[in-house]
Amino acid sequence: MAIIVKQVEGITFVGRGESRHWVPMDGPETFHGSNAGTRPMELFLISLAGCTGADVASLMEKMRVDVDKFEVVVEAERAAEHPKVYTKIDLEYRFYGDNLEASKDKIEKAIELSQWKYCSVSAMIRKAQIPLNYTYKLLPKKGE
């Protein structure tokens, strides 16, 4: 895989991968940024949630689990000193819908398969020996 990241100004950058979609990245104005894009460390967590979320959604579709809405919430802790790496990451999978308790085993299986077999980002985090924890909630239908 190849990507390119180009400086726009200061610490404002845009990056593009093989999918050819540009992603803006930036920092706060106090560090010569324009506050015009997502921080790179945020993108890392977004990548994690997107990777495992896509796995789980695909697996649940194959297992015929019907959910009204699905989201992944990530909470992370970072080291106080540079490099300010993540020291702990917690994922919470939230499933909204009716009668989800009947599909609990399938939902658990989809999460486990994503975390331990399919999600490359989760695998990289574990290889770096960063504690990665996950839980899930089955919730009633969520309104718009």
- The total domain count for the chain is 2
In the chain, the N- to C-terminal Cα span, in Å, equals: 38
Q: How far is C-alpha 44 from the chain's CA centre?
A: 7
Same-domain pairing of 77 and 118: yes
* 82 lies in the same domain as 124: yes
94 beta partners? 71, 137
| Whether residues 23 and 65 fall in one domain | no
pLDDT for 48-88, tens place per residue? 999 999 999 999 999 999 999 999 999 999 999 999 999 99
Q: Looking at the predicted structure, is the pLDDT value of residue 142 above 80?
A: no
Residues 119 and 59 sit within 8 Å (Cβ to Cβ)? no
Residues near 43 by Cβ (< 8 Å), separated by ≥ 6? 23, 25
- What's the rounded Cα separation, in Å, for the pair 31 and 73? 28
Whether 62 and 129 share a structural domain = yes
Residue 141 confidence class, pLDDT cut points 50, 70, 90 = confident
144 in any annotated domain: no
